């Protein structure tokens, strides 16, 4: 029993340190590769699940809001409208 507890005390922090190191390494590689940096031209405004295989989403893209349905067969554009003004971004 003591041998098991000793292994647990030694190996658990070692595994936690390895996980932490892998996450830090992945983050630094992403920054170096330019992944996840810069401004995004697309933003998901809202999503609604209609069924387990069908979802509606409102996507903002270059000042337009596009309503799309996402299913197993792919995406289908349903409607398009000018983007709404978000709170805090209105003209003063």
CA quadruple 72, 77, 79, 83: dihedral positive or negative? positive
Phi, psi of 61 (to 5 degrees): -145, 115
Per-residue model confidence (pLDDT) at position 19: 97
Strand partners, 42: 61
Q: Give 3-state DSSP helix, strand, coil % of the chain, rounded to 5.
A: 35, 40, 25
Per-residue model confidence (pLDDT) at position 17: 96
Residues 25-82 pLDDT 10s:
998 888 787 666 556 788 888 999 999 999 999 999 988 999 999 999 999 999 999 8
Residues 9-26 pLDDT 10s:
999 999 999 999 999 999
Would you state the structure tokens that stand for residue 37, as one six-digit string? 């940096």
Per-residue model confidence (pLDDT) at position 91: 52
Beta strands (DSSP E) in 14-88 are 42-51, 54-61, 64-71, 74-82
């Amino acid at each position: 029993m003591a041998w098991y507890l000793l292994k647990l005390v030694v190996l658990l922090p070692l595994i936690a340190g390895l996980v932490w190191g892998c996450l830090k390494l992945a983050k630094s590689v992403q920054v170096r590769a330019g992944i996840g940096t810069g401004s995004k031209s697309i933003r998901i405004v809202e999503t609604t699940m209609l069924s387990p295989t069908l979802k509606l989403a409102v996507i903002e893209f270059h000042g337009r809001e596009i309503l799309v349905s996402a299913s197993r067969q792919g995406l289908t554009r349903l409607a398009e409208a000018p983007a709404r003004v978000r709170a805090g971004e209105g003209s003063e």
